[in-house]
Structure 1
Amino acid sequence: MGTSIGAVEVLAEREWRARARRHEERVDALTADHLRRRREGVRHPVEDFLFTYYNFKPARLRRWHPGAGTVLTGEGARELLSERFTVETPEGVGLDVEAFLAARPVVDFVERLLSAVADRPAHLGCFGLHEWAMVYRAGEVRHGQVPLRLGHEGTDRVVESHRIRCSHFDAFRFFTEDARPLNTLRPTREAQVDLDQPGCLHAGMDLYKWAYKLSPAVPSELVVDCFELAREIRELDMRASPYDLRAWGYEPVRIETADGKAAYMSAQEGFAGRGAVLRERLLGVCRLLRENATSGR
């Protein structure tokens, strides 16, 4: 492990190069199938989501950064000085916190949002009905290459027979016009801090978004931890959706049945617990940035 000077962890070149190599190998394994499909021009309705909806390309995910509070030593570290937000300090090469905070005012919003969500209990039992509301009484579906499992009429009946309580604006904004009045909440971007809650699948996936938006202040290992959680959540999100994904190897979570609802809530609770750990780690980065800015590091 690296030595520590005050609040700064110092990594020798051998140590940080080994970390970087492990990170690259991990990302290569996670993105290999996506990159192969991209070369072949083949789309995937589940796994492509993290590279199309979220604006962080595989090459950027692969690039390793130690994160705030860590400096790198050795000749190789000086080669990194050409990268944005990198500065040489008496201890080694690390993050220019002042420049990063000046360029990324989103840090304050992310800290407020994550703190608010962390303080709320998880609301379970939404059963992924946001995906159903996105095709309610629609003449066409968002994923045109994937059939509806229950057809249009069956899908509409599921929506009409459930109470919809979607709190996440980036899900609600895709509801059809007929579905919007059925939602018991009215999420807006301005109300996101007040409405997001830890049981929401989209709030869990968004931990990945906040992690990469705070890169390179967030250690790259944490960004990938959030990516892996988001990918697993996306799978549940689509398995519980109205789409029939069995041709891609995904058995449906039939949320229109009691067994399906129980399975969904169990998985949702597990994701909420894992998300809570990652959320606290991201909040730790936000706090460290503020502390280092105050100390002038």
Structure 2
Amino acid sequence: MDVLEQEVWQARAEAHRQRVEAWTAPHLARRARGEIHPVEDFLFTYYGHRPAQLRRWHPGAGVLLKGARDFGRDYLDTSEGATLDTAALMDRRRSTVEWIAQLLAATAARPAYLGCFGLHEWAMVYKTAEVRHGAWPLRLSGEAIAEIVEQRGVRCSHFDAFRFFTPEARPLNVLQPTRQRQRELEQPGCLHANMDLYKWAHKLSPLVSGELVADCFVLARDIRAVDMRASPYDLSPLGYRPIRIETPEGRAEYAAEQRGFAERARTQRQRLLGACERLLAGTHRPLVHGDRAFGLRRISGSRGTL
């Protein structure tokens, strides 16, 4: 068990709060004004991890916060400080941790495929007048978009992108992803699979550190910008220069971005996978097991006693 002195964990918690505030505060201000940003707000609206949850710092499993008391839900107080009740959390979440670990390991074991060129976003507006980001114009006509999709073909391996394809576009995809085939098909060159590392990080929270969740958020935020720059939408008024994947130069630029994200994601994927493996192996344990008889007391609050 790692022991963090009070000044150390308090400094980490404050640094995390300040870091995250740079993303959450503008999102909340836009929401109050009824505005939606197609890049900056996506991670909050799509993944459903609330700003308050992202701001909340956690040390992760196997850490004692010296001098902490009443640290919150899922924490136990000891005579020395507070620690995450890892055993109780794993009793409830073991199947989720196992599933995430299997997906991360399967994805990491495959070579990166860099030939999709972001055409998933094009397949989402293929032969339809109903687009997801109706406040923003398309760079090309519907006819031109259809021509590119049909000419280049689509090879999307990510189910959560594929499920937004128009009905007309789905038969054009070389693969037919399903939720059941997710572990079989996801690969480390896919922008959406790498963006999803943020989803897996926040689903593992508080068993992983707040810093790891925030690092995955940064990666996902950067990926989302490139994802939309390569889309048929014109977001140049927001400062996003398009990556024109309908041209050879644009496809080369997209593949280079994809390669860079695959390398960045490799590090984050291994950090998450390592955390899952340690949790499943039982490496992280509370200082003691029990309750008041061992100097522990259960944390009670509005959400019940743990």
Question: Normalised by the size of structure 1, how large is the TM-score?
Answer: 0.93
Corresponding residue number in structure 2 for 1:85: 74
Matched to 1:250, the amino acid is Y
Distance 1:150 1:71 in 2: 56
**Alpha-carbon spacing, 1:87–1:260, altered in 2? closer, same or farther (3 Å):** same
Give me the whole-angstrom Cα distance separating, in 2, the residues matched to 1:24 and 1:54: 20
Matched letter for residue 141 of structure 2: G
Q: Distance in 1 between matches of 2:99 and 2:182?
A: 10
In structure 1, the residue matched to 2:5 is 12
The 3-state SS of whatever aligns with 1:10 is: strand
Question: How far apart are the structure 2 equivalents of 1:235 and 1:27?
Answer: 18
156, 159, 176: which one pairs with 1:169?
A: 159
The one-character-per-residue Cα deviations of 1:136-178 (angstroms, maximum 9, x if unpaired) are 1112211111111101111111101112110000000011111
Residue 204 of structure 2 corresponds to residue 211 of structure 1: no
Aligned partner letter, 2:16: H
Corresponding residue for residue 27 of structure 2 = 34
Would the aligned equivalents of 1:97 and 1:292 in 2 still touch at CA under 8 Å? Answer: no
User: What does 1:57-206 correspond to in 2, within 5 Å?
Assistant: 57-74=50-67, 77-80=68-71, 83-89=72-78, 92-104=81-93, 105-206=95-196
| Structure 1 position 183, deviation (Å) | 0.4
- Higher RCO structure (Cα 8 Å, ≥6 apart): 2
Q: Which runs of 5+ in 1 are unaligned?
A: 1-7
* Secondary structure of the corresponding residue to residue 2 of structure 2: strand
- Is this contact kept in 1: 2:97–2:280, CA < 8 A? no
Correspondence for 1:255: 245
| Cα distance in 2, alignment partners of residues 58 and 107 from structure 1 | 23
CA distance in 2, matches of 1:184, 1:224: 34
- The CA deviation string for residues 92-114 of structure 1, in whole angstroms up to 9 with x for no partner, is 42121221112223111000000
Q: Which amino acid letter does the alignment assign opposite residue 40 of structure 2?
A: E
How many residues are treated as equivalent by the alignment?
A: 286
Q: Partners of 2:131 and 2:21 in 1: how far apart?
A: 33
1:9–1:282 Cα change, 3 Å: same
Paired residue secondary structure (1:94): strand
Q: Partner amino acid for 1:205?
A: M
CA distance in 1, matches of 2:220, 2:45: 13
Q: Is the 8 A contact 1:10 1:91 kept in 2?
A: no
Residue type at the aligned position of 1:224: A
2:212 pairs, out of 217, 222, 231, with 222
Distance in 2 between residues matched to 1:147 and 1:155, nearest whole Å: 13
Please give the per-residue CA displacement for 1:66-98, whole angstroms capped at 9, x wherever unaligned: 001211111xx1121xx2221235764212122
TM-score (norm 2): 0.90
Unpaired runs of at least 5, structure 2 = 288-306
Q: Is the CA contact (8 Å cut-off) linking 1:172 and 1:180 kept in structure 2?
A: yes
Percent identity, aligned pairs only, is 59
In structure 2, the residue matched to 1:54 is 47
Question: Aligned-pair RMSD on alpha carbons?
Answer: 1.5
Cα distance between partner residues in 2 of 1:140 and 1:188: 24
